[in-house]
Amino acid sequence: MDRGSEGSFIDVLLTLMWSTIGTALIPALIPWIIYVICNRTEVGKMKGMVVMITGSSSGLGEQLAHSFYKRGCKLILAARRVTELERVKNDLLDLVVEDVSTYEPVIVELDLADIKSIPRKVNNLLNTYGHIDYLINNGGISYRGKITETTVDVDQTVMLINYFGTVTLTKAVLPSMIEQRRGHIVAISSVQGRIAIPHRSAYSASKHALQAFMDCLRAEVSKDGINVTVINPGYIKTNLSVNAVTGSGNKYGVMDETTSRGYEASEAAEKIYYSIAREDKELTLAPLLPRIAIILRSFCPSLYFLLMKRRAMKLPPVHT
């Protein structure tokens, strides 16, 4: 074979190779291209929207603030610790964000346990911005303890913050959303809002209740143009377990091993951001094992109960 023939053979071979690759890749690329275009459209519509995030002084709430701020949203940062809110606000203002107009966040001291003050504070916020487009109910408290060693006061505290505080805030914001026929309510629940595990009774109960409330709310306000998204994260690497209360009401003060191996808060925040932008009804942000547990609880409860029984027997005592 001379060099000319050899060159022609290689050209034909390359043409066939690229043709084969193209034939195989194009069908796979089309859904991906559509997904990217749709995501850009969904994300773009959130620019300039007013977003209120509770529990935004640290952890997941702080990272959610970063995710929404760099997309050009007008933020209301709410939490009990004003000093930490100021820190988060300053960190956001120091960010270099290209190609997007950013807005100085508004901070508000908000204690979800003080439910009587919540409507008044929401009215003040509505006077500032006129409306709230997205309410992200992220604030809450965790718990570690055995039921037999937990006072009813602790049960009430966890339920007050995680459920009644969130419900009160949601109900305070809803009328303005219904009036403008637009809005989005987001609840950061938990995998434990779908399944219950030992030593989490108060926490799981509060998240179960929140899940049920949001499912009812979604159905009732859909006619008003309002979306409801429930996020069910697994373990996220934050101080949630450190700040958890025990059965006696004391601070748990320990970073659980499962928590330390969880999602990075920044990674979780980005996934949650896109889920909200897509207007998902629900997102379970967890690895395979918790997803299997959710399925077992629904379709094979006897096996699930047996596994939880064994888990409870192996757990060490919770120091109070």
Residues identified as active-site: 203
Buried b (16+ CB within 10 A) or exposed e, 251-278: ebeeebeebeebbebeebbeebbebbbe
Cα 311 from chain centre? 27
Locate 297 and state its tokens.
């609880």
- CB-CB contact of 211 with 194 (8 Å): yes
Helices (H), the chain: 3-44, 59-69, 82-93, 118-129, 152-159, 166-180, 201-221, 257-260, 265-277, 288-299, 301-314
Please provide residue 262's backbone torsions phi and psi, each rounded to the nearest 5 degrees. Answer: -80, -175
Identify the helix (H) or strand (E) that includes residue 229. strand 226-233
The one-letter code for the residue type at 143 is Y
Pairwise CA distance, residues 53 & 186, whole Å = 9
Name residue 226's beta-bridge partners.
183
Pick from 212, 80, 73: which is nearest to 139 by CA?
80
